[in-house]
């Protein structure tokens, strides 16, 4: 059978890894796909680098359009990144009847609806396993392996940089700034780490998983996003004392009012497996009504782990490309005409538990005043701890854990507490997720 011809856009870390793994495992991959999968063209601005990697018979060009317009190319693999040139090249590939494999989560989170619609109209496939959690096959698990289930919730550590920072802060007692500098030196964080530390990268990924899990359109503009830059070693230590670990989680849940879609630091009980995922590793927990709770763990980035997902998509497309479009696995798991208009609820309507920490003047009546405010806002306290005053100050730390409550009630309580003259700091708020049902 005629081999599948691949055009590779970008020969950076993931592109190079994809080419290397395809070459190394070509016999095994061909046996699984039922035909050979061969890179015929590579486009990259760094021609010398591309030529040093490419074998004879592979055309190297600096003009990506030579690939997207070449009638001999069956699948275009977009590994350039960004949301401008990459979008144009993907849409042009689709318009020319080519299937697309991409690892571009930012592009799909922001423009996935347009791209998927174009692919449907043209009868081609857009595959993106590598866009979420690197080498973990979570998209396939959600779209195929768990298709019998009504998914209840997903919670994931889906940014390795943020997880590395939190792990090092906890294990070594270092500050956020110290660990960020270390992560940049090791190559885990970019020179501009904003997407990682502010939760934006995780928000792109949870947007895609939410769409697949619940059959809703891709809606990145509705994700609540909060990063890790304000976390301190103090809160990490206190969480540990209380039996919790702090992780940056992407969370999406099906609730009575709609779909929750959020990214923020979260206290997780230490007994949960996901709480013990350290360093740059990723993990995703999925809860379904039939299967219960399942955990997916592995490398969330890196040349060959991500290449593993890219090539899995290439094999899938090779197997499915001759199938009638209506009988292929739908891009977002549900058939396009069956997507739901279930709303994404605003963060103020989300219900969860909370860790609150504040500094107060150590004098009679303070605790009573704070607990009265909490009660006035229909918040139930599950635990309250007062830390000893330091020798230099008459301030004491108060830590409060709440039962389930609505975010808007917590917001109102925090505003009133911070207005008290006896409260000498802002109230630190971190959400708690038990992840037990």
HEC secondary structure over 394-416 = CEEEEEEEECCEEHHHHHHHHHH
Could you identify the residue written with the tokens 């190079």?
A: 16
Contacts of 416 (CB under 8 A, 6+ apart): 373, 376, 377
Distance CA 29, CA 279 (A): 31
How far is C-alpha 149 from the geometric centre of its chain's CA atoms? 21
Give me the pLDDT at residue 392, please: 65
Distance CA 330, CA 125 (A): 9
Give me the pLDDT at residue 389, please: 67
Q: What are the boundaries of each domain within the chain? A: 4-135+303-327, 138-299, 348-432
Extract the residue ranges of the chain whose pLDDT is less than 70. 322, 324, 326, 389-393
Which top CATH class is 348-432? Answer: alpha beta
CATH code reported for the domain at 138-299: 3.30.360.10
Q: Under DSSP, is residue 20 helix (H, G, I), strand (E, B) or coil?
A: helix
Residues belonging to the binding site for L-homoserine are: 190
Give me the pLDDT at residue 114, please: 95
Give me the pLDDT at residue 394, please: 80
Residues belonging to the binding site for NADP(+) are: 9-16
Per annotation, catalytic residue among 40, 87, 98, 205:
205
The single-letter DSSP state of residue 344 is B
- Nearest to residue 10, comparing CAs of 72, 74, 61? 61
CA distances from 55 to 42, 44, 46 (A): 11, 15, 16
Residues belonging to the binding site are: 9-16, 105, 190
Question: Fold match between 4-135+303-327 and 138-299?
Answer: no
Q: Under DSSP, is residue 299 helix (H, G, I), strand (E, B) or coil?
A: strand
Asked if the 4-135+303-327 domain carries CATH number 3.40.50.720, the reply is yes
Element (H, E) at 88: helix 85-95
Distance CA 109, CA 433 (A): 25
Q: pTM for the complete prediction?
A: 0.94
Please report, for the chain, how many H helices and E strands are present, in that order.
15, 17
CA distances from 301 to 76, 257, 279, 304 (A): 21, 35, 12, 8
Could you identify the residue written with the tokens 């998209």?
A: 139
The answer to whether 363 is a known catalytic residue is: no
Give me the pLDDT at residue 200, please: 97
Give me the pLDDT at residue 337, please: 72
């Amino acid at each position: 059978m005629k081999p599948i011809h691949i055009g590779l856009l970008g020969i950076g870390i993931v592109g190079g890894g994809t080419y290397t793994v395809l070459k190394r495992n070509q016999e095994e991959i061909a046996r699984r796909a039922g035909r050979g999968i061969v890179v015929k063209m590579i486009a990259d601005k760094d021609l010398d680098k591309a030529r040093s990697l490419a074998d004879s018979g592979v055309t190297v060009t600096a003009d990506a359009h030579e690939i997207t317009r070449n009638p001999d190319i069956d699948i275009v693999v977009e590994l350039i990144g960004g949301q401008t040139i990459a979008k144009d090249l993907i849409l042009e590939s689709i318009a020319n009847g080519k299937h697309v494999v991409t690892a571009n989560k930012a592009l799909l989170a922001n423009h996935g609806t347009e791209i998927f619609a174009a692919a449907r109209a043209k009868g081609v496939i857009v595959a993106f396993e590598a866009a979420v959690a690197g080498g973990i096959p979570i998209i396939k698990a959600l779209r195929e392996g768990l298709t019998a289930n009504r998914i209840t919730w997903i919670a994931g550590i889906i940014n390795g940089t943020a997880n590395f920072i939190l792990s090092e802060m906890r294990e070594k007692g270092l500050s956020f700034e110290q660990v960020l500098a270390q992560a940049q030196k090791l190559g885990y964080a970019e020179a501009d780490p904003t997407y990682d530390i502010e939760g934006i990268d995780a928000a792109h990924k949870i947007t895609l998983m939410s769409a697949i899990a619940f059959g809703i359109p891709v809606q990145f503009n509705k994700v609540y996003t909060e990063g890790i830059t304000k976390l301190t070693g103090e809160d990490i230590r206190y969480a540990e004392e209380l039996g919790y670990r702090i992780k940056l989680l992407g969370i999406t849940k099906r609730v009575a009012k709609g779909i929750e879609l959020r990214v923020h630091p979260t206290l997780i009980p230490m007994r949960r497996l996901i709480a013990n995922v350290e360093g740059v590793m990723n993990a995703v927990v999925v809860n379904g009504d039939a299967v219960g709770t399942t955990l997916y763990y592995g490398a969330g980035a890196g040349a060959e782990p991500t290449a593993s997902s890219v090539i899995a998509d290439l094999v899938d497309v090779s197997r499915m490309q001759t199938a009638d479009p209506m009988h292929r696995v739908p891009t977002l798991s549900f058939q396009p005409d069956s997507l739901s208009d279930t709303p994404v609820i605003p963060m103020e309507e989300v219900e969860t538990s909370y860790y609150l920490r504040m500094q107060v003047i150590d004098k009679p009546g303070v605790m009573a005043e704070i607990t009265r405010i909490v009660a006035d806002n229909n918040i139930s306290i599950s635990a309250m701890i007062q830390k000893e005053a330091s020798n230099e100050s008459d301030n004491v730390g108060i830590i409060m854990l709440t039962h389930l409550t609505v975010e808007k009630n917590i917001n109102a309580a925090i505003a009133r507490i911070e207005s008290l003259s006896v409260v000498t700091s802002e109230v630190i708020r971190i959400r708690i997720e038990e992840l037990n049902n």
